[in-house]
Amino acid sequence: MATYVVAGAGIGTTALIGNPRRISAVSVQSSSQLALKFRRRTSKTFSPIYASVSASTAPVTKPNDLVATILSKVMQSDRGVLLAKDEHKSVAEVAQELQPFCVAEPVKCPLIFGEWDVVYCSNPTSPGGGYRSAFGRLFFKTNEMVQVVEAPDVVKNRVSFSLFGFLDGEVSLKGKLNVLDEKWIQVVFEPPELKVGGLDFQYGGESEVKLEITYIDEKIRLGKGSRGSLFVFQRRKP
């Protein structure tokens, strides 16, 4: 009886076989085992890749990014006058995203005090009254719109303007701040004071506003009026 030596293709061992008819059977079995081992190794190799992909999560937007976004949308807009309807909607959406990041009781937060520029209002005629109406803007060019909140309960609004582009003037209001709850405040203003050239006088009567503070930090303060108007205040630099 003849003896044959068959190399186990790629298996790394040799087999002594007494019957040559068994060669093909052994080769097929060895190939099947090798293929099975390859599939198992391949499966083990790629499993962690699928797991790592499924575990990935979307990045979380930080409040600082939202603050930068809302400021970029309202700056150079003449406090909202130059924005289209869809742009006002976009500002409102960012303000809504910021609201969950607001402190629990913003009316008690010391950050409320300081000097603030009014950089946006969804109803452009709301701050400044008739001076900011479509007709008023033909004669009064707004230079500054500032709100000062002083401890413990004083609010001062000031709108400076140029009449006909060469005569400087200013309208100011002084009011008392009343806390209504953890988010809402009420300000009762004295009659406004008007200064134009050498003239200085008060006119009209008292007025009041109610405002919900929806977000506040070191840079900006967001407020929503009782009629739904959105305000964006930016803290003035010293």
Confidence of residue 164 (pLDDT cuts 50, 70, 90): confident
Instruction: Report the interhelical angle of 85-98 vs 63-74 (nearest 10°).
Output: 160
pLDDT higher than 80, residue 32: no
- Report the first-to-last Cα separation within the chain, whole angstroms: 106
Tell whether the model's pLDDT for residue 41 goes beyond 90. no
pLDDT exceeds cutoff 90 at 147: yes
Give pLDDT, residue 59.
56
Mean pLDDT of the chain: 80
Q: For residue 230, is pLDDT > 50?
A: yes
Q: Can you give the pLDDT at residue 42?
A: 44
> What does the pLDDT look like over 49-99, one tens digit per residue?
444 444 445 456 799 999 999 999 999 999 999 999 999 999 999 999 999
Q: Which of 16-20, 111-115, 163-167, 218-222 has the lowest mean pLDDT?
A: 16-20
* Long-range contacts of residues 57-65, Cβ cutoff 8 Å, at least 24 apart: 61/97, 63/98, 63/101, 63/217
Summarize pLDDT for 168-226 with one digit per residue, the tens: 999 999 999 999 999 999 999 999 999 998 899 999 999 999 999 999 999 999 999 99
Maximum CA extent, the chain? 131
DSSP 8-class letter at 80: T
Q: Does the pLDDT value for residue 103 go beyond 90?
A: yes
pLDDT greater than 90 at residue 122: yes
Rounded to an integer, what distance in angstroms lies between the CA atom of residue 30 and that of residue 53?
Answer: 36
Predicted confidence band of residue 28 (pLDDT cuts 50, 70, 90)? very low
Which is more confidently placed, 192 or 40? 192
